[in-house]
Structure 1
Amino acid sequence: MTTTMQANESSHTHSHYINRDLSWIEFNWRVLEEAQDANNPLLERIKFLAIVSSNLDEFMSVRVAGIMDLLKAGYAKKDFTGYTPSGLIKRINKRVGKIAAEQYKTYRDIGRQLAKEGIAFSSYDDLTITQKKALDAYFLSIVFPVLTPMAVDQSRPFPLVHSQALYLSVVLQREGEAPDEEEPYFAIVQVPSNLSRFVTVPSRASSKKVEFVLLEDLIERHIHTLFSGYVPVGVQSFRLTRNADFTLNEEGAEDLLEEIEKELQRRKWGSPVRLEVQRGIHPYALGMLKDEFELEEGIFEIEGPIDLSFLMKLSGALPGYAHLRFPEIEPVYPRELRGVDSIFDVLRQQDVLVHHPYESFDAVNDFVSEAALDPHVLAIKMTLYRVSGKSALIQALSKAAESGKQVTVVVELKARFDEERNIAWARKLEKAGCHVVYGLVGLKTHAKITLVVRQETDELRRYVHVGTGNYNDSTARLYTDAGLFTANATIGEDASGLFNEMTGYSAPLHLQAFAVAPTDLKPRLFDLIRREASHAAAGKPARIIAKLNSLSNQEMVDELYAASRAGVRIDLIVRGVCCLRPGVPGLSEHITVRSVVDRFLEHSRIIYFENDGNPEVYLSSADWMTRNLTRRVELLCPVFDLKVKMSLIRMLNIVLADNVKARMLQPSGMYERFAGDKPAFRSQFEAMAIRSWKK
């Protein structure tokens, strides 16, 4: 194996646990490595750069903000990984500074390579006279009218600076004044977020090169037009990140929608967490910003354009250049459901597994749409956590309600950063006549399940879809997830019980198949892990394979350690945060942890237990984090159909065989790539190959 580039600062090897936040930073290093991988096409590499920026934004505004709240409250106790808030925040800021420096180094390298392909970010001063005239006209007609210079002086206090919006700091002196005669004047200008961050430059004569100028650079070049009578002596960009988390008093809220809307407004005034400034910022401007935001730590000098998340849109704004992109794939429609008159007819005969993004999310849309139009369907019940902008599911549910069917939708309004969109969907569904429920007080509803109740001859039959990912057709093309369609009676009865618990006053039921957080999912998992340990102790076949996004719950880690000591072979596939330290003699020597970061975001949660030669496989909505196991409604669903079970086991084995995009977590806390002379095996490419013969 080869060692990844990051320095070994997160190991904290005297602890049995890896810190959650430092582990997350290591995950973002792995994303950055995809931007640096020369085997990835250039326009895909800039997408990974954009993802690094977006990831860091959420990390700083939520996780780091929470740690800073602990500091302000004087909290000084160590967490279970051995860190105090003050020690952790210093380590985080140091690591974030390093990753940002490496990110911009990568940006400059990719920029040089894109320039060789005829795609370039140009300086205004390097443009031709004709190009400059075109940009001057664009500035005066489109940009200038929406700019607002905001002076800061004794009569005009510092204006509200919005979180994660881009601004220019402007230091000025009066015309005719010597630089040191008086204290400088200071103003800020927000870079309009409703205009494209990159401005297309007209092509040079007889040139095929595509050129862009950044919007903030264009504004800086024309900043004098906003301050007549003054001379700009320092114009640099900056960006503030505020605390974006909030706590709702759900029990005291008469209207949850209104309360969340108020909190969304309060988010604009969240306490400052991070300040990014352009390298070389005028000292007076930096002093003004530091004083206003009361930040001494968490200030990062950026050598390049602040906030590279705009690169995601840039990639989409460049038509052609197929050689600079991954080959397009079109998800195939599940073979079992192809060309049939009714999905319900198929499900009465067999369960069907759908593997996104290789197989189409249209199967889910069609399942709900058929239910909406079928006169024999009496009721549709569904959970919605994050929905796409143009959701066919919302339309189908609305039609079902309008046609007189009983439609119940559990909408999670508190899905972070999707609150506004979910409020809009909730109101649309209510208007159509759906029963909209906002879940249980104090808990987020994260389970992904749909129940269709259908009258068939002399009985009611339940049809269920259980998924590992959100009901979102956009992310279903970008995330790997699994969905199970079934008419299994036991699963159907449990689905009814679960919805009754979520929408009514039902006490937690004794479910036959499901395990549901926060009541019995964690105990069920502990029982299953302990069963494997007892099998191993008795010399019977024992193995656990768990594919998750994150593993950070201390009790869960301890259970896995105990199983390892009993001799259970445990293979964990954890894309992001992992607090478990594998391969430690006497503690976790039978545990491996690997992370796969590739073209698609690994998102499916699949759990396998060997069970003395009688394997059990489960699909789940839950990661093994404290919030998922104790503060959310989550679902663990067994797979009974042998064919589906074998397909899921095959999926797990494909990921375990990856030696191209998988990194193995070492006892030190570092991740290492595979090295050696084995043939390259890339799990997502293999999954695409399987998809090809399913056509």
Structure 2
Amino acid sequence: MYKDFYQSQNYVNRELSWIDFNGRVLEEAQQKDNPLLERANFLGITQSNVDEFFMVRVASLHKLVAANVTTTDASGMTPEEQLKAVNEKEHRMVAKRYRVYNNELLPALAKEGIFFRHFTELDNQQQEFLRRYFNEELLPVLTPMADDSSRPFPFISNNSLNIAIKLKRAPKDSQVQAPQTVLEGDQEVTGRPQEPHDDRNEAEEKFATVRVPDIYRRLVKLPHENTFVLLDEVVKQFLDLLFPGYVIQSTGTYRVSRDMDLDVAEADTSDLLRAVQHQLREREHGSVMRLEVQGDIDPWLENHLVKNLKVNTIALYRVDGPVDLTFLKKLSGMVHGRDDLRYRPFKPYLDPQFDMDSDLFAAMREKDHLVQHPYDNFQSVVNFIHKAAVDKNVLAIKMTLYRVSGNSPIIKYLGQAAQAGKQVTVLVEVKARFDEKNNVRWARRLEQMGCHVIYGLVGLKTHCKLALVIRRDHDGIRRYVHLGTGNYNDVTANFYTDMGLFTCDYEIGVDMTNLFNMLSGFARPRYFHKLHVSPHGIRQFIDDKIDEQIEVAKSGNPALIRMKMNSLSDKQIIARLYDAAAAGVKVQLLVRGITCLRNDLPVLNGNIEVHSIVGRFLEHSRIYYFESNGHSDIYLSSADMMTRNLNRRVEELFPVEGARTKQKAINIFDKMWNDNVNTWVLHGSEYELLDSAGQARFNSQQYFVDEAEKHQADEHREQENKRHLSTVFETLTRHVPRLHLKRVKNNQHD
């Protein structure tokens, strides 16, 4: 081990690397090869990504600065230095996002007949439609909030969209009681405004704010066309109806992002559910991490917001366009009749052995099955749990849940199994970030249905993806297992790439039993046969495998390490990879997001290559692959190479051993490594889009889509052939007896 590998200049700051990753997502919004509405969606994704980044990562830096922490990260930066660098870099990214929005997306959308309009650009009929929409839908739910000597500055909730308003009392002669007409339902109602309350400071400028209701879509679609107006623009147009007796001088849309990181004290978990619920209420009032305002906001309004929200000027973001671009994620679903502007839909392949009409358990007894979502249908996993719930020979189901959908079929089938008298144990991680409320609800629901629910371990998040089914077969008790790299979420499984293994392997089954006993009781397994479990177990295993490759390289033989993960930030793992490369081991890394490793250190001899794939699907699977002396070992895992995953979470890493499944996993890595359409290549500390000029284009994600459709077509053709043969057979069996009888009669006549 080279001690120099631990020097700070050998590492990239984690937070700055994350911003670079979000920049790679932004590039997808600029790629003209991507369908236009998908480009808009990518731009919306960059906004939601950075929103969460400020609510969690930037919030964490703020806490460290507030606690006067001056220790440095792997790259040698203090929390205060990181906070400054993050905001400076993100200011540049914000400017780029809005350049893409204004200069590229809006003109391209307009060319396709999709328009974003201001109220003044609409004709009379369109304006009348919005006037009625405001009066009938919006006016009843809007609440103006004043800030003056008798009413303190109102609370502004996290990520809510708001309109700041500067106003003055109207001159007295203009306050003649002129009748005012408003719309109530379909009826116009005329009335005389009430005298405004006495205000001795009539000449002073007043501040008020109105929250744009989030129960309505941000995009208001005009009838019979793909023309949209932003909801906040509609509200602004009719704000004077909320402030009779006052003149509105200026308005400005704004939004705050707060510290939303959950901080549950875990001295014990005796009342963890209640502690989480309490923290969910408390975090809504976290400190402001970022204030976004429209670029042309009145300086008086901006100063008022900065002062009352207690925002550092570096955290003030003026944007050249609509505040909060996440509405672009909804645009595709609101544009009608333009499938040419979206990705072509495809149907994931479902192995017929895993449909509900087949003997799924027999298929698992015969051999292991490796699936890759979304190309392989996630319904195979849902059917596994469903079959277990209704099969009379199943005795027990044990499962871990980290993030599930809002209407999860897996939850339903677990409850169904419990109500059928099966032993059902579910570990629901109620500390899963931003899924806490959903998971608390599901935990309560599972308990009501008769499941035994575990809420997690003290000080650890349970992030492993495991399902264990205990079944009484004709030859005894057998364990049926599913292990995965991604969540048991039937929604995200449609656009996250993940891998899963169905197996009946005896030793893995024993390991799973021991692991669940550890999670639910006081068991401390002395060892696992084939599983490797965090905390600590996965780190030690990866270290040992790297050591093996180093020894092979030192003996003069070729050695290869290949890894795919979401993020690579653990300093020790990076140092071990440096050590391997320096010893002559070839290292190939597929890292979607954070990459704290540099691959330009001279001592590495160019032995570390790093690719990052950003495309239609979010690359989420984790693969760890070691090859030397003509032998290859490949493993899948729920864990990234991040300190939190290796030290502070319960994670699983498992082998893929069957010859067929092993080769499939290796082929998946190979195809992704050869991608030259979605791939970025790391040069030192910066990623650059791979230059594929002169090469045949190869998009790995599209390749897997095409393969899934081919399997689907082959399966359909095979089923059609079977139906045809069945029809022919039935026809023959109907006619052959008659032909035989006729022949007998003819013979008798002869």
Q: 3-state SS of the aligned residue for 1:105?
A: helix
- Residue 384 of structure 1: aligned partner: 401
Q: Structure 2: which 5+ residue stretches go unaligned?
A: 1-6, 174-200, 713-750
- Residue 39 of structure 2: aligned partner: 45
Distance 2:32 2:442 in 1: 42
TM-score, normalized by length of structure 1?
A: 0.95
Distance 1:676 1:467 in 2: 37
- Residue 174 of structure 1: aligned partner: 169
Q: Residue by residue, what CA displacement relative to the aligned partner does 1:393-416 show, whole Å, maximum 9, x if unpaired?
A: 111101100000000000000110
Distance 2:691 2:685 in 1: 16
Give the superposed CA RMSD.
1.6
Match of 1:341 among 358, 363, 378: 358
Distance 1:686 1:660 in 2: 11
- Residue 6 of structure 1: aligned partner: none
C-alpha contact 1:497 1:509 (8 A) present in aligned 2: no
C-alpha contact 2:168 2:202 (8 A) present in aligned 1: no
Distance 2:138 2:412 in 1: 38
- Residue 612 of structure 2: aligned partner: 595
Distance 1:157 1:500 in 2: 54
Match of 1:498 among 505, 508, 515: 515
Match of 2:250 among 209, 213, 234: 234
- Residue 22 of structure 1: aligned partner: 16
C-alpha contact 1:581 1:588 (8 A) present in aligned 2: no
Distance 2:78 2:117 in 1: 46
Q: Residue by residue, what CA displacement relative to the aligned partner does 1:78-100 show, whole Å, maximum 9, x if unpaired?
A: 21102122222221111111111
Match of 1:137 among 132, 136, 140: 132
C-alpha contact 1:508 1:519 (8 A) present in aligned 2: no
Distance 1:548 1:210 in 2: 40
Q: Residue by residue, what CA displacement relative to the aligned partner does 1:379-433 show, whole Å, maximum 9, x if unpaired?
A: 0000000001121111110110000000000000011001111111111110110
Q: Identify which range, 580-589 or 475-484, moves more after superposition.
A: 580-589
Distance 2:461 2:284 in 1: 23
Distance 1:392 1:14 in 2: 48
C-alpha contact 1:50 1:309 (8 A) present in aligned 2: yes
Q: 3-state SS of the aligned residue for 1:348?
A: helix
Q: Per-residue deviation at 1:624?
A: 0.4
C-alpha contact 1:561 1:588 (8 A) present in aligned 2: no
Match of 1:150 among 122, 145, 152: 145
Match of 1:647 among 648, 655, 664: 664
Q: 3-state SS of the aligned residue for 1:413?
A: coil
Q: Residue by residue, what CA displacement relative to the aligned partner does 1:512-531 show, whole Å, maximum 9, x if unpaired?
A: 10000003111111101111
- Residue 160 of structure 1: aligned partner: 155
Matches within 5 A, 1:290-689: 290-296=306-312, 297-334=314-351, 336-337=353-354, 341-587=358-604, 589-689=606-706
- Residue 10 of structure 1: aligned partner: none
C-alpha contact 1:582 1:588 (8 A) present in aligned 2: no
Match of 2:296 among 280, 296, 302: 280
- Structure with the bigger RCO (C-alpha within 8 Å, sep 6+) is 1
Distance 1:414 1:129 in 2: 52
Distance 1:299 1:615 in 2: 52
TM-score, normalized by length of structure 2?
A: 0.88
Q: Residue by residue, what CA displacement relative to the aligned partner does 1:308-355 show, whole Å, maximum 9, x if unpaired?
A: 111112211223201101100111102553686311101111000111
Q: CA separation of 1:581/1:504 partners in 2, compared to 1, >3 Å: closer, same or farther?
A: same
Distance 1:392 1:604 in 2: 22
C-alpha contact 1:666 1:672 (8 A) present in aligned 2: no
Q: Structure 1: which 5+ residue stretches go unaligned?
A: 1-12, 204-208
Q: CA separation of 1:334/1:177 partners in 2, compared to 1, >3 Å: closer, same or farther?
A: farther
C-alpha contact 1:357 1:481 (8 A) present in aligned 2: yes
C-alpha contact 2:169 2:202 (8 A) present in aligned 1: no
- Residue 210 of structure 1: aligned partner: 226
C-alpha contact 1:469 1:604 (8 A) present in aligned 2: yes
2:196 aligned with 1:201, yes or no? Answer: no
Distance 1:320 1:90 in 2: 46
C-alpha contact 2:45 2:326 (8 A) present in aligned 1: yes
4+ runs of 1 displaced by more than 3 Å? Answer: 180-183, 335-340
- Residue 191 of structure 1: aligned partner: 212
Q: CA separation of 1:157/1:338 partners in 2, compared to 1, >3 Å: closer, same or farther?
A: closer
Distance 1:455 1:314 in 2: 51
Distance 2:467 2:449 in 1: 19
Q: 3-state SS of the aligned residue for 2:464?
A: coil
2:67 aligned with 1:73, yes or no? Answer: yes
Q: CA separation of 1:348/1:416 partners in 2, compared to 1, >3 Å: closer, same or farther?
A: same
C-alpha contact 2:12 2:595 (8 A) present in aligned 1: yes
Q: 3-state SS of the aligned residue for 1:359?
A: coil
C-alpha contact 1:332 1:358 (8 A) present in aligned 2: yes
Distance 1:90 1:177 in 2: 50
Query: Which amino acid in 1 is paired with 2:214?
Result: S
- Residue 206 of structure 1: aligned partner: none
Distance 1:155 1:686 in 2: 65
Distance 1:253 1:665 in 2: 43
C-alpha contact 1:582 1:665 (8 A) present in aligned 2: yes
C-alpha contact 1:18 1:669 (8 A) present in aligned 2: no
Match of 2:28 among 34, 59, 72: 34
C-alpha contact 2:353 2:359 (8 A) present in aligned 1: no
- Residue 716 of structure 2: aligned partner: none
Query: Which amino acid in 2 is paired with 1:85?
Result: P
Match of 2:99 among 102, 105, 110: 105
Query: Which amino acid in 2 is paired with 1:17?
Result: Y
Distance 2:536 2:601 in 1: 32
Distance 2:685 2:654 in 1: 34
Q: 3-state SS of the aligned residue for 1:269?
A: coil
- Residue 51 of structure 2: aligned partner: 57
Q: Per-residue deviation at 1:22?
A: 0.6
Distance 2:123 2:416 in 1: 57
Q: Which has the higher helix share?
A: 2
Q: CA separation of 1:252/1:591 partners in 2, compared to 1, >3 Å: closer, same or farther?
A: same
Q: Per-residue deviation at 1:155?
A: 0.9
Higher Rg: 2
Percent identity between the aligned chains?
44
Query: Which amino acid in 2 is paired with 1:546?
Result: M
Distance 2:473 2:525 in 1: 29
Q: Per-residue deviation at 1:280?
A: 1.4
Q: CA separation of 1:193/1:663 partners in 2, compared to 1, >3 Å: closer, same or farther?
A: same
Q: CA separation of 1:670/1:358 partners in 2, compared to 1, >3 Å: closer, same or farther?
A: closer
2:113 aligned with 1:85, yes or no? Answer: no
Distance 1:611 1:427 in 2: 50
Q: CA separation of 1:334/1:588 partners in 2, compared to 1, >3 Å: closer, same or farther?
A: farther
Q: Per-residue deviation at 1:604?
A: 0.5
